[in-house]
Amino acid sequence: MDGRLQRVAEHRRSDHQGVGGMSERLSTDLAPALDRRSLFRGAGGILATAAWADLQSDSAVDSPGPHFPPRARRVICLFQSGGPSHIDLFDHKPALARHDGQELPDSVRNGQRLTEMTHKQSRFPCVPSGLSFRPHGECGRMLSEVLPHTGSIADEICVVKSMHTEAVNHDPAITMMNTGTQQLGKPSMGSWLSYGLGNESRDLPAYVVLISQGTGLRGGQPLFSRLWSSGFLPSNHQGVRFRSGSDPVLFLANPPGIDRAGRRSMLDGLVRLNRIRQGRVGDPEIETRVAQYEMAFRMQASVPDLVDTSSETRATREAYGPNIDKPGSFAANCLLARRLAERGVRYVQLFHRGWDQHGGLPRAIRGQASDTDQPSAALIKDLKQRGLLEDTLVIWGGEFGRTVYAQGKVTPGNYGRDHHGRCFSVWMAGGGIRGGIEYGQTDDYCYNITENPVHVNDLNATILHCLGLDHTRLTYPFQGLEQRLTGVEEARVVTPLLA
């Protein structure tokens, strides 16, 4: 049976088939009646039995890719949650000083809808950045004064200054960046990569999530676990969140009274029970569940070694900055991301909160930059030194940018900015990406794109391309559609970004 047809058949199989069989005897000699439905169930059982050895070796679901030779094998996404201000970090506009305090022209705003935070403002005064910029690297990249360490890798990174999204509020925009749509329930980028390319690591998940809290703004926007959900893909492709501290994965350690041998015996018994059940109902989620049991068992040994960074040299640790010894900091998570990449984890996503700067931006953005600037640059240098950067794609950016007009009261040295999806900046480095370039341009107000727009799904198509995946061919059947990360609307690979 063709793999695609088999997946369709599995998803059309009713969830209720045989679910109520907990009270039935678990015996291998129960022969089903030879009616048509049982025949097909039996066929599913034969397929499941044939696949069981692969399941035990962590291959519960076949992967459809790559479609062509990849330039990258893994991704580290440094997601800056809250919407970093491109105006104050990457998109240098010295001419904007001429418009300081002036009303943003209607011809520039062009009827853009306003958020709840600013729709009652009577004025929309332009505010240039209060931070200075200077060139960095041989490429002469203009970067904010709060990004000196990013300046040291200017020739390694590609700055995309013409990103845009339809979303203007945090949750829809973060959902869009992570899943390619504002609608809930879709798989995240990491889940698509796990499904499309499989897992290179036997002892760790293909998709790991790390979260840190910034100094720029305490609290901030919530990060829901659906942002790393597998959606309609099999559940073994969902992200696994690692927490800071001595117990990074919930419920992974054995409870008191259970040793490793006892856990192994328990899992062996579950495998036998699940094999019987799988043979009778052919539910693909049973295979996934057992694979996850086995992965958790192996993680009991691999995770403690992963998070123990005592073997790292003093020079390596110091390169990540003063917060490296603070568990759960962005610096500590960047080092952990490199260790995860070394161990074959396909997609590592760091969420750093605190960029939602509606007020007090000059002070707050300095705090956020102090959290992220040095560790981000150290990660690039560390990967390069170890020969990993050439096949690791690193992405830095948030869900949108900030407005050129001020939110609230403007005082000398103090201002805030609202959400802005019409243009914002991200940077990329590593596997398959041209370093030392910038792509796209915005107008003199940092408000509209004037050259080479890049939609969120264009970025996603480009990321997939770097990993050897054609975004139009990486599909999964669900609700009568061949679903894909980039959706049904047109998306393109941004070839000028490629090395």
Tens-place pLDDT, residues 398-415 = 999 999 999 988 988 899
Residues paired with 424 in a beta bridge: 163
**Which residue would you say has higher pLDDT here, 467 or 55?**
467
Going by DSSP bridges, is the β-strand pair 481-483/476-478 parallel, antiparallel, or unpaired? antiparallel
pLDDT confidence of residue 258 = 86
Q: Which of 442, 446, 429 is nearest to 154 (CA)?
A: 429
Write the burial class of residue 245 (CB in 10 Å: 0-12 exposed, 13-18 middle, 19+ buried): exposed
Instruction: Give the Cα separation of 123 and 119 in Å (integer).
Output: 10
Whole-angstrom distance, CA of residue 148 vs CA of residue 413: 21
Give the model's pLDDT for residue 326. 94
The rounded radius of gyration (Å) of the Cα atoms in the chain is: 25
45-102 tens-digit pLDDT:
433 333 333 443 443 345 677 999 999 999 999 999 999 999 999 999 999 999 999 9
CA distance 246 to 252: 12
Q: What is the structure's pLDDT at 386?
A: 97
Residue 162 has pLDDT above 80, yes or no: yes
Rounded Cα–Cα distance for residues 226 and 188 (Å) = 8
Residue 390 has φ and ψ, to the nearest 5°, of: -65, -25
The helices-and-strands tally (H runs, E runs) of the chain is: 13, 17
Q: Is the pLDDT of residue 150 over 80?
A: yes
Residues 211-220 have pLDDT tens digits of 999 887 676 7
